[in-house]
Chain A
């Protein structure tokens, strides 16, 4: 145990110097720039722009998390319980996105979804629609783009949970005459709920910090917290505001994490 503590010291030191100290600096800035006091916090929590951005970020991230985790659930089912061929195809689909940068993916979605993009062109050629549907530069595109990025991350906690499901329980339910749907809803789903919670945690925390995807796909109409912080640091410098916003964001995410983790701990017992 002592050797372990000794070995881990450099890491703790590194984290302390590179994360904790700067963060304390940010906390200090949030109370002192431009004037000492709580003015920055009261502005962040009451003014229209920051509160609007906070709510939009939360709403979008909840939506993205729901979409990602549901899609990932289906994909993971195929991966864990499908036939060998299905498994290998699914595995490729999970792995390949990891090799493509966020930026390329955002542009990919733009060329896919824009008015003269692939999807609209196909739909028009097939005669399903008369004029192009606007699918980019709005929240729909942001949710699609962000979910596409986050789904693979949700797969791993789900896969762990699904692999831990005791096959015999399912067989027993089957033997007692439960329908397949009932087995899924009443047995399989509850037994994988820790995985769902884990995936939710991971995806939600990731999604809060997204910058590039919403900026590109949102068409300027869905500014999220990360972009606002950037703006306040570089474009129109108000460092106190940026710092206060960062602290609020951190406390918010920390709070959500704390609640979910406790729940996760109970479930994992």
Chain B
């Protein structure tokens, strides 16, 4: 989920740069913020010599990023940063660490993935002496993953198709009142919660998820699904092409749709499902745990997080950043005090335990 989401952020940046909505410099800034490559600053100048490899979902921009940020970063801190875009999936991290000689230091993996791997002894615990816990939101700090941003699965819809806009997840599942095909996420996360909420489960009773009930709901609704999207660009084009009239998609894409179509395709925060993103450190990482932790600490800077938000639309993990966001853009911040209460957050503990089996069952339903 987040792995795909991460990948998508890089795509958004490239698209916006291509359309001339942001400058190349801004794009690179965005990449830097995305990867947590903020300069550690003068205070960290005595950081130990070394090298860090940060693994994310890459693309063409890796070289440019290295040139623009890797070099000055090295000059300031003595820590060389290399970027690897090969994708830190759970399987890939396992292979790295179990192979006995990992070449990665930091990974942008799902918090629940980091947690699961951490308990198997494959990740370093986050050092909260260096990483500042007070710069994380309440309830979103983990043992093996440091919160770095948030996104949300929201109801996006083609406003031209309906007289009255949908106002809840129940409306998403109501094709009588809101005609047209729907689209949901192919990899399950957030969709179980949505189905259960629509089926009448109270937000506070969601976890542990009643998967059978969720799958029954989705199975019964399947004939109205035009597609299960697997990536952000796909979710966006489904709505733009008119293939579906409503979709549960990442708020980053929904915000873009809203801006690009001047509100013809828009979204609501109501019943959104918040997904947390986090950075983890591989066990026995070659660059040294302390250097890696300093790197994470540098990503907590609120001003950097605002840059990230403005580039990509994902919400800051540092609550101090909310107020720094310009007034007219706050409506797009998933964690804004206005928007946050309308949504519920994914439960990392539940996903850590159950995601594998749940996804198997979900795929069985949607692809049958």
Give chain A interface residues in 221-269, CB to chain B under 8 Å. Answer: 221-223, 228, 231, 233-239
Q: Are B243 and A114 neighbours in the complex by a CB distance under 8 Å?
A: yes
Q: Are A137 and B243 neighbours in the complex by a CB distance under 8 Å?
A: yes
Give chain A interface residues in 149-173, CB to chain B under 8 Å. Answer: none
Interface centre among B181, B237, B241, B242 (most CB of A within 10 A): B241
Is the CB of A52 closer than 8 A to any CB of chain B? yes
Is the CB of B202 closer than 8 A to any CB of chain A? no
From B251-259, B274-282, B359-367, give the one contacting chain A: B359-367
Q: Are B90 and A220 neighbours in the complex by a CB distance under 8 Å?
A: no
Contacts A136-B243, A219-B226 given; indicate if A233 touches B234 (C-beta within 8 A): no
Is the CB of A53 closer than 8 A to any CB of chain B? yes
Is the CB of A115 closer than 8 A to any CB of chain B? yes
Give chain B interface residues in 225-240, CB to chain A under 8 Å. Answer: 225-230, 234, 237-238, 240
Contacts A49-B364, A56-B367, A115-B241 given; indicate if A234 touches B91 (C-beta within 8 A): yes
Is the CB of A215 closer than 8 A to any CB of chain B? yes
Q: Are B226 and A236 neighbours in the complex by a CB distance under 8 Å?
A: no
CA distance in complex: A233, B91 (Å) = 6
Q: Are B366 and A238 neighbours in the complex by a CB distance under 8 Å?
A: no
Number of residues from A at the complex interface, CB < 8 A: 31
Number of residues from B at the complex interface, CB < 8 A: 33
Contacts A49-B360, A137-B227 given; indicate if A236 touches B355 (C-beta within 8 A): yes
Q: Are B230 and A115 neighbours in the complex by a CB distance under 8 Å?
A: no
CA distance in complex: A238, B356 (Å) = 9
Closest to A219 in B: B227
Is the CB of B92 closer than 8 A to any CB of chain A? yes
CA distance in complex: A268, B240 (Å) = 53
- Across the interface, which residues of B come within 8 angstroms of A221, CB to CB? 225, 227-228, 366-367
Q: Are A234 and B90 neighbours in the complex by a CB distance under 8 Å?
A: yes
Is the CB of B42 closer than 8 A to any CB of chain A? no
Contacts A220-B229, A236-B359 given; indicate if A110 touches B237 (C-beta within 8 A): yes
Q: Are A48 and B186 neighbours in the complex by a CB distance under 8 Å?
A: no
CA distance in complex: A247, B91 (Å) = 19
Is the CB of A116 closer than 8 A to any CB of chain B? yes
Q: Are A114 and B89 neighbours in the complex by a CB distance under 8 Å?
A: no
Q: Are A234 and B89 neighbours in the complex by a CB distance under 8 Å?
A: yes
Partner of A220, one of B94, B230, B242, B361: B230
Is the CB of A134 closer than 8 A to any CB of chain B? yes
Q: Are A134 and B356 neighbours in the complex by a CB distance under 8 Å?
A: no
Partner of B356, one of A53, A110, A236: A236
Cβ distance B278 to chain A, nearest Cβ, rounded Å: 17
Q: Are B186 and A220 neighbours in the complex by a CB distance under 8 Å?
A: yes
Contacts A114-B243, A223-B367 given; indicate if A236 touches B90 (C-beta within 8 A): yes
Is the CB of A132 closer than 8 A to any CB of chain B? yes
CA distance in complex: A220, B230 (Å) = 7
Cβ distance B363 to chain A, nearest Cβ, rounded Å: 6
Give chain A interface residues in 91-113, CB to chain B under 8 Å. Answer: 110-111
Contacts A49-B363, A134-B226, A222-B367 given; indicate if A114 touches B242 (C-beta within 8 A): yes
A49-B361, A116-B243, A137-B238 are known; give 4 further A-B pairs, CB within 8 A: A53-B367, A223-B367, A231-B363, A235-B187
Q: List 19 A-B contacts (CB under 8 A).
A: A48-B364, A49-B361, A52-B364, A52-B368, A114-B237, A116-B240, A116-B242, A216-B234, A219-B228, A220-B186, A220-B230, A221-B367, A233-B91, A234-B89, A234-B92, A235-B89, A235-B359, A236-B90, A236-B360
Closest 9 CB pairs of A and B: A220-B228, A219-B227, A137-B227, A234-B89, A220-B186, A236-B356, A234-B91, A114-B241, A237-B91
